[in-house]
Chain A
Amino acid sequence: MSLLNTLINPTQTERKPTLRPSYEITETETGYALTVFLPGVAKADLEVSDEEGNLRIAGKRSTPRPEKATVLHREISDYGYELVLAHDNTVDAGAITAELKDGVLALTLPKAESAKPRKIAIA
């Protein structure tokens, strides 16, 4: 029985399911602009990290449902958001800036100097 329990509910996997938020990427001359839609996420519950070429955005929803209220109809999930985007060394990871406003995260990923177009003078 205990074996069955560990199979059904293994304690190691405490990870809750997450949703992949919708996002948009646009490229400019100097970098990339990433817009991630994270409705219901407050600044304190948002984590943005960049590790080994993986940009990770994780957010928990902070709008609790009204207390003692009955649910009539639901279309919005309670699950948090998680988005992992891999990038190569064309992005200057140290210079990434992020701004969260009204549930929309705007990230600026500047291109690394080596990835910018260069004009080569011919001798």
Chain B
Amino acid sequence: MRYLRFTHPDSRSLEATAFGGRFGQTGLEDQIDWLFGTALNGFAGQARGGQIPVDLYQDKDNTYVRAELPGVTPDAINVEVVNGSLSIQASRKVKTATGEDTVAFSRQVALPNDVQAEKVTAAYENGILTVTLPVREEAKARKINISVN
């Protein structure tokens, strides 16, 4: 199975990996931290800025990264592929009592090697950003016929 690794720079998860975690190297603590991290800051954090929640899908031609970015104008979204990782940066202008404030969001997603970085496309609709990353031709599964004598 091919999978995408993702980074979540969370102080708690960094601690857990640095000290081996209370549950040894099983990563259970990381998983629990991740679960609470996404449940608590992933959604509520949208209003205050921070990490963008993402979904990753894959079919035989493309890898899809879908990100929740409500209230961001398409001009304020920056999608880049650098060193095999996808970086999404966005900012939203918020009116405050004293004027205008900018709330920034970002997310890094490590990509598999077989992605064509130069053919990445992105679409934004209803506050959802969908990044389509085509899989390289030679990396696609091919059917080879073997003749048996």
* CB <8 Å contact, B126 and A41: yes
Neighbour of A71 across the interface among B57, B124, B125, CB < 8 A: B57
Least CB separation from A101: chain B residue: B71
**Chain B residues in 8 Å Cβ range of A71:** 55-57
Q: Which of A54-100 contact B (CB under 8 A)?
A: 62-63, 65-76
- Residues of B in contact (CB 8 Å), total 32
How far is the CB of B109 from the nearest CB of chain A, in Å? 9
* CB <8 Å contact, A72 and B127: no
Indicate the member of B44, B64, B128, B130 with the most A CB atoms within 10 Å: B128
* CB <8 Å contact, B127 and A104: yes
A104–B47 alpha-carbon span in the complex (Å): 11
Least CB separation from A63: chain B residue: B128
* CB <8 Å contact, B127 and A103: yes
**Chain A residues in 8 Å Cβ range of B68:** 39-40, 76, 103
Q: Which of B42-62 contact A (CB under 8 A)?
A: 42-44, 46-47, 53-59, 62
A82–B64 alpha-carbon span in the complex (Å): 27
Overall SS of chain A's interface: loop
* CB <8 Å contact, B53 and A75: yes
A102 at the interface (CB under 8 A from B): yes
B3 at the interface (CB under 8 A from A): yes
Least CB separation from B72: chain A residue: A102
* CB <8 Å contact, A104 and B57: no
Q: Would you give the 0/1 interface string for B107-149, flagging 1 where the beta carbon is closer than 8 Å to chain A?
A: 0000000000000000011111010000000000000000000
Known contacts A24-B47, A102-B73; A69/B57 CB under 8 A: yes
How far is the CB of B4 from the nearest CB of chain A, in Å? 5
User: A interface vs B, CB < 8 Å?
Assistant: 19, 22-24, 35, 37-42, 62-63, 65-76, 101-104
In the A-B complex, the 6 residue pairs with the smallest Cβ-Cβ separation, listed nearest first, are A103-B127, A103-B70, A104-B71, A39-B127, A69-B57, A72-B56
